[in-house]
């Protein structure tokens, strides 16, 4: 009888380790959104990230086969969202690019961005007169200090970061197992 109770208790504790869901601030997969599909070199691009971990540093790159341009870093808010406004280099070769967001847990690509046309020269991205109600009256380049704004040949592909696991899930699972074990022990002792 005692052996059967111990085996049952062990099975319940073991199953409880798998019953605890991951703790997450959001339910979706991280993604990048860009405000245009086509842009000229030197143009202003809005990059929005959603569903990332909260208060996480995100490094942004513009990439194409053989070209990698660092666009800077952004920090997500408490909802896992960021908005980064970048000015593309005026000497960026024409072609189809993607924006890549890299964090310690994620490696996310944006939809395709076609860069073509003559470079936009001058202040403010050269997009002409702005209206008073325009939310982006003075976009500033967002290159990290010391980072080059010119394309850099890419020698190796970026590899997705290695997941470090979620220790919170393990802690909750152990706690749930201990709680169940304590409740079953009390029940067994009351029967005697």
Tens digits of per-residue pLDDT, 3-45?
666 766 667 666 666 655 544 455 689 999 999 999 999 999 9
Asked: is 31-153 a CATH 2.60.40.1930 domain? The reply is yes
**DSSP letters of 161-173?**
PPP---HHHHHHH
pLDDT single digits (tens) 80-113 = 999 999 999 999 999 999 999 999 989 999 999 9
Short-list 139, 161, 143, CA closest to 152 = 143
- Quote the CA–CA distance of 90 and 92 in Å, as a whole number: 6
Nearest to 91 by CA among 153, 155, 154, 149: 149
In 3D space, the residue among 60, 94, 68 whose CA is nearest the CA of residue 150 turns out to be: 68
Taking the mean position of all CA atoms in its chain, how far away is CA 101?
Answer: 6
pLDDT tens across 153-190, in order? 444 444 444 444 455 566 667 777 777 777 777 877 77
Q: How many whole angstroms separate alpha carbon 78 and alpha carbon 89?
A: 31
* CATH 2.60.40.1930 placement within the chain: 31-153
Looking at the predicted structure, is the pLDDT value of residue 63 above 90? yes
User: Could you tell me the pTM of the whole model?
Assistant: 0.53
Q: Which two tokens stand for residue 30?
A: 């991280």
- Helical packing angle, 2-19 and 167-191, nearest 10°: 150
């Amino acid at each position: 009888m005692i052996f059967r109770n111990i085996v049952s208790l062990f099975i319940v504790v073991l199953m409880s380790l798998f019953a605890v869901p991951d703790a997450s601030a959001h339910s979706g997969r991280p993604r990048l959104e860009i405000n245009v599909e086509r842009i000229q070199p030197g143009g202003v691009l809005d990059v929005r990230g959603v569903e990332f971990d909260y208060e996480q540093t995100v490094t942004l790159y513009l990439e194409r086969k053989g070209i990698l341009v660092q666009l800077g870093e952004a920090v997500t808010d408490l909802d896992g969202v960021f908005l980064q406004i970048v000015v593309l280099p005026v000497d960026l070769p024409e072609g189809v690019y993607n924006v890549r967001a890299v964090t310690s847990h994620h490696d996310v690509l944006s939809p395709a961005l076609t860069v073509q046309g003559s470079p936009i020269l001058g202040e403010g991205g050269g997009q002409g007169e702005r209206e008073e109600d325009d939310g982006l009256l003075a976009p500033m380049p967002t290159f990290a200090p010391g980072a080059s704004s010119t394309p850099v040949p890419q020698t190796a592909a970026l590899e997705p970061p290695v997941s470090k696991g979620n220790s919170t899930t393990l802690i909750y699972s152990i706690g749930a197992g201990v709680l169940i074990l304590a409740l079953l022990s009390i029940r067994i002792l009351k029967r005697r």
